[in-house]
Amino acid sequence: MIDVHQAVMEVVPVRKGAAVEVRELRKEFRRKDSRKRGEKRGERRTRVALDGVSFTMEKGETVAILGQNGSGKSTLVRLLSTLLLPDGGQAFVLGHDVVSEPRAVRRLVNRVSVEASFFKKMSAAENLGYAARYYGMTSKDTRDRIPEILERVGFPPDRRDEPMEALSRGMQQKVALARALLTSPVVLLLDEPTTGLDPRSKLEVQEFVREIRETHDSTILLCTHDLNEAENLAERVGILDRGRLLALEPADELRHRYSAETLEQAFFAATGREFEAEGDEDDDDRDVFA
Amino acid sequence: MRTLATTMRAELVGAGGVVERNFYLTKRYIWWDLAWFFWTVANTLTIVFIAQGIELTGGQIDVNSVATSLLIGAVVWAYLGVLFEFLMETVAWERWEGTIEYTFMAPLSRAMHLAGQGVFAISYGLLRAVFLFTVCALFFDLSMPDANFLAAFIVLAVASISFIGIGVMTSVLPLISPEKGTQLGFVAQGTLLVVSGVYYPVEVLPGWMQAIAKISPATYALEGAREAIMDGAPLAEMWDEIWPLLIIGAVSIPLGLWVFSRGELYAKRHGKLKRSG
C-alpha cells in the first residue's frame, strides 16, 4: 500500500534558503531487555527516539534544542550527520537528502559531541592533521591552518604535540571545536559541547561558539540541556521531549507562549516535567538506548 | 571532468590520511610494536627449532630444508596476522577510541578509507616480514643459495590483495556485534591458519579441509613463497599460484566492500556505530 503522507513529503520541494530542513523525522530503536529469571531470551523493547520531528533552519541561523537525557537530541544530530538512517520522514542539508546524498551532506556538516573522541595517544596536531585529510585537505593546506585554528580556540601552542590523554577535558573540547571548524562546515552540529566541563572551560567554549556565530556564516544546531546556554547563544530555542519537538521559537516568545518568567518554567509548562540538572550521561544512554 | 579529477584527488588525499593516521599511531605505540616484534621473533624461532629437535630425537630429515620451510610458514603467517589485525582495527580500534563516528561522517568513500588501511597494512606488514625473515635466517644460518626473493616478494604482494578482501569482510563484524565480531574475526583467522599449510603440506589434511584450502589465498602464497625461496623458481613458473590468487582477489575485494557496505547500513539502521564499552 502506498503511504500517502510519505509520498506527499517526497514530492514537496526543499525550501530555498533553508540550511537544514527536517520533515516528520522518525527514529526508533529496538533493544533487548536484560533476561529475567525463567526467560529464555530477554524481551525486545522498542523506544521511539524521534517522533515526527519537523523544523527548518535558515542559513546562518543558530538554533538550540533543549531536552533532557533521552529526549532524542543526539539521535537528531546523528541523523543529520548521516550516522543513522531514519525510519520515517526526511532531512535535508542545503537541499541534499541525508539518506540518498550522504556524501554531499558530509562535505557540508561537522559535529562536536559531548565526548571529545580522539586517538588519545596522538597529539592535537596529529589528530587534526589526519582528520583534515578525510575532507580532502592536503598537508600543505593544513600546515598553517592547524596552528591558526588551535590558537583561535585558545589552545596553548606549546601543548600541540602532547598526547590528547595529557590534556584536560576542557582542552580536549577546544581541540574538538578546532577539528570541526577546520573543514569550514556550512552546518555545525554541537551536541552538548559543554557538558561535563568546568565553569571556566564552559564559558570559553560558549564564547568561542558566539564568536563563530558572529564571524562565520555557519548555521549552528546546538543541542543542550543548559538553559542559559540555549538562551544566550541561539536565536530560536526548541523543546524536545521524548522524541517530540514541542516548540521552536525565540526564547522570549517561548516564555510568552507558556506564560512563564523563565525558560525553565516554560520547559516545565511544555513538558509537564522539571528540568533535570546536568548529568554526564550521553543523551541516548538513559531511555532510548537503555 | 574537472569535478571528477577534484573528487579523485580528494579521495586519494583521504586515503593518504588513513595511512598518515596509522603512521602516527605506530610511532606513538613504538615500544609496543618492538615488544610485539620481539615476541614474534621468539615465537618464530621456537617453531624453527622444531626442525633441529626432530633430527636430535632421531628423525631423518633435511634440517636446512625443513627449517626454511617452517620459517617461511611462520613469516607468512605473521604477515597475514598483521594484515588482519590492521583491518580488524578499522572498526574495533576506532570504536574503542570513540573516533568511529567522526571517521564515518567524513566525506571519504568507504572504498578509499579501506584502501588506505590496506596500503598501510601491506607496507608495514612486508617491512616487518623482511626483518623477521632476516633475523631468523641469520640466527639459524640457513643456506638458501637458489632463493629468488624478488619472486617471493611479488607472490606475497599479489596474495595481499586477496588477504585484504577477506580482511575487509571480517573487519565489518565488530560493527554488527562489537564483541562477537572480534571473536568471529579470530575464528576466520584460525581457520586460515589450520587449512593453508602454514607449517605442513596441505596434503596431510583431511579431504574436507583440503577443499577449504583451495579457496584460501594463504595456501597459494605459501606454496609460491616456498617455491621461490627454496627452489629458486622464477616468477614465470609460478603461474599456478598466481592465477588463483588473482581470481580470489578479484572476487574477495568487491565482495568485501559489498559486505562492509551492508554492515555499515545495518549499523546505521540500528544505531550500532556509537561507542559502547
| C-alpha atoms less than 13 angstroms from C-alpha of B261 in its C-beta half-sphere | 10
Return the half-sphere exposure (C-beta side, CA atoms, 13 A cut-off) of residue B253. 15
Q: Which helix or strand (DSSP H or E) is residue B46 part of? A: helix B30-56
Reported as a single tens digit per residue, the pLDDT across A73-112 is 999 999 999 999 999 999 999 999 999 999 999 999 999 9
Extract the C-alpha cell encoding A157.
601552542
Residue A75 C-alpha cell reads as: 539521535
A119 closest CA partner among A134, A135, A108, A130: A130
What pLDDT does residue B38 have?
96
Taking the C-alpha atoms of residue B15 and residue B10, their distance in angstroms, rounded to an integer, is 9
Q: What is the pLDDT of residue A282?
A: 47
Test A103 with B24 for CB contact under 8 angstroms.
no
- Helix B178-195 to helix B149-171 angle (10° resolution) is 150
Q: Does B187 touch chain A (CB under 8 A)?
A: no
Residues in chain B within 8 Å Cβ distance of A75: 271
Nearest CA in chain A to B98: A117
Locate the chain B residue with the closest alpha carbon to A75.
B271
Pairing of strands A44-58, A18-32: antiparallel
Place of cell 618464530: B44
Q: In this structure, are strands A187-191 and A219-224 parallel, antiparallel, or unpaired?
A: parallel
Residue B55's pLDDT is 85
Cα-Cα-Cα-Cα dihedral of B59, B64, B66, B69, to 10°? 170
pLDDT mean across residues, chain A: 86
Query: Residue A66 is inside which H or E element, if any?
Result: strand A62-66
Between B187 and A21, whose confidence is greater? A21
Q: Which three cell numbers stand for residue B71?
A: 620459517
A223-A228-A233-A234 Cα dihedral, nearest 10 degrees: 60
- pLDDT tens by residue, chain B, 277 residues: 678 888 899 999 999 999 999 999 999 999 999 999 999 999 999 999 999 899 888 888 899 999 999 999 999 999 988 998 888 777 888 888 889 999 999 999 999 999 999 999 999 999 999 999 999 999 998 989 889 999 999 999 999 999 999 888 888 888 887 677 777 778 888 898 899 999 999 999 999 999 999 999 999 999 999 999 999 999 999 999 999 999 999 999 999 999 999 999 999 999 888 754 3
Distance of alpha carbon A171 from alpha carbon A153, whole angstroms? 9
Among residues B162, B122, B154, the alpha carbon closest in space to that of B253 is found at: B162
Q: What is the pLDDT of residue B36?
A: 94
CB-nearest partner of A119 from B25, B105, B106 = B25
Exposure string for A84-122, b = 16+ CB within 10 A, e = fewer: bbbebbbbbbbbbbbeeebebbbbbbbbbbbbbbbbbbb
Classify the phi-psi angles of B220: left when phi > 0, otherwise alpha if psi is within -120 to 50, otherwise beta: alpha
Residue with more model confidence, A21 or A42: A21
**Calpha distance B90→B82 (Å, rounded):** 13
Chain B residues lying within 8 Å of A85, measured CB to CB? 265, 268-269
The residue of chain A with its CA nearest to that of B99 is A117
In whole angstroms, what is the distance from residue B185 CA to residue B170 CA?
A: 6
What tens digit of pLDDT does each residue of A155-183 get?
999 999 999 999 998 899 999 999 998 99
Q: Give dist(CA A206, CA A224) in Å, integer.
A: 12
Chain A environment of B17 (Cβ under 8 Å)? 129-134
Distances (CA, A) of B112 to A16, B108, B126: 33, 7, 21
Cβ contacts of B119 on chain A, cutoff 8 Å: none
pLDDT at A69 over 90: no
The residue of chain A nearest to residue B100, with distances taken between CA atoms, is: A117
Nearest to B71, CA basis, from B126, B125, B142, B151: B142
Min Cα–Cα distance to chain B from A173, Å: 14
Residue A48 corresponds to which cell in the numbers above? 521511539
Nearest chain A residue (CA) to B16: A133
Contacts of B273 in chain A (CB under 8 A): 78, 83-84
pLDDT band at A196 (very low <50, low <70, confident <90, very high): confident
Of A30, A130, A179, the CB nearest to B17: A130
Q: What is the pLDDT of residues B77-109, one digit of tens each?
A: 999 889 988 887 778 888 888 899 999 999 999
Beta carbons of A138 and B13 less than 8 Å apart? yes
Whether the CB-CB separation of B182 and B99 falls below 8 Å is answered with: no
CA distance A130 to B113: 12
Interface of B with A in 258-277 (CB under 8 A): 265, 268-271, 273-275
Whose CA is closest to A188, among A172, A208, A204? A208
The set of cell numbers assigned to B235 is 616468477
The residue of B13, B27, B29, B90 whose CB has the most chain A CBs within 10 angstroms, and thus the best one to mutate to test that interface, is B13
| Contact (CB<8Å) B105/A83 | yes
* A10 pLDDT tier (thresholds 50, 70, 90): low
User: Mutating which of B90, B99, B180 best tests the A interface, going by the most A Cβ atoms within 10 A?
Assistant: B99
Chains A, B: CB pairs < 8 Å: 107
pLDDT score for B233: 93
Q: Is the pLDDT of residue A36 over 70?
A: no
How many angstroms separate the first and last alpha carbons of chain A?
34
Q: Which of A120, A137, A179 sits opposite B97 (nearest CB)?
A: A120
Distance from CA of B273 to the nearest CA of A (A): 7
Residue for grid cell 520547559: A267
User: How many angstroms separate the CA atoms of A218 and A108, rounded?
Assistant: 10
CA distances B78 to A91, B39, B133, Å, are: 47, 11, 10
Q: What is the pLDDT of residue B277?
A: 38
DSSP assigned state of A88: E
Q: Which stretch of DSSP H or E encloses residue A32?
A: strand A18-32
pLDDT at A280: 42
pTM of the model: 0.87
In B, minimum Cα distance to A27 occurs at: B269
Query: Residue with C-alpha cell 628423525?
Result: B59
CB-neighbour burial class of residue A147 (10 A; exposed 0-12, middle 13-18, buried 19+): middle
Among B16, B29, B102, the residue with its CB nearest the CB of A131 is B102
**For position B268, what pLDDT does the model report?**
93
pLDDT at B248: 94
Nearest to A25 by CA among A73, A95, A67, A94: A73
pLDDT value of position A5: 54
Query: DSSP states of A198-252 as a string?
Result: -HHHHHHHHHHHHHHHHHS--EEEEEES-HHHHHHH-SEEEEEETTEEEEEE-HH
C-alpha to C-alpha distance for A124 and A118, rounded to whole angstroms: 9
